[in-house]
Amino acid sequence: MTYSSELIKGTLKTIVLKLLADHKKMYGYEITQKVKELTVDKIQITEGALYPTLHALEADGFVTTEVEYIGKRIRKYYSLSPTGKAKTKEKVKELANFMDTMISLLDIKPKMA
């Protein structure tokens, strides 16, 4: 089962920021693959959603970039800036609170481990 785009839409920035926090620096394709792997294919981020988000994060100053030349093409690595690290904590906390609220609102019983 894959999640609907509406659910993923609001969490994409948080997902990308958290991945960068955990993996220091990553490039676009790597991010899409990591998300697939960690969610067992339940979340599949498309290129059309990922790259605009990465550009927006860069414009916001939350990520910094460095490039690597691979033959005739350029690979752009993204890593968190100091403000990006603070933003990641804020976004993850906000999402965790939101999930708690939704569990309470929808009366969902957490699965026992």
Q: Which amino acid, 1?
A: M
Taking residue 37's Cβ as centre, other Cβ atoms within 10 Å add up to 9
Stretch that binds other proteins, among 23-31, 86-94, 95-103, 105-113 (CB under 8 A): 23-31
Taking residue 30's Cβ as centre, other Cβ atoms within 10 Å add up to 15
Per-residue binding string, other proteins, 42-81, x by CB under 8 A, is ---xxxxx-xxxxxx--xx---------xxxxxxx-----
Q: How far is the CB of 68 from other proteins (least distance, A)?
A: 9
Closer CB to other proteins, 29 or 108, in the complex? 29
89 touches other proteins (CB under 8 A): no
Burial 12-28 (b: 16+ CB within 10 A, else e): bbbbbbbbbbeeeebeb
Q: Which of 18, 23, 25, 28 binds other proteins (CB under 8 A)?
A: 28
**Rounded CA separation 110/104 (Å):** 10
**Rounded CA separation 27/9 (Å):** 20
Interface ranges with other proteins (CB under 8 A):
5-6, 8-9, 12, 27-29, 45-49, 51-56, 59-60, 70-76
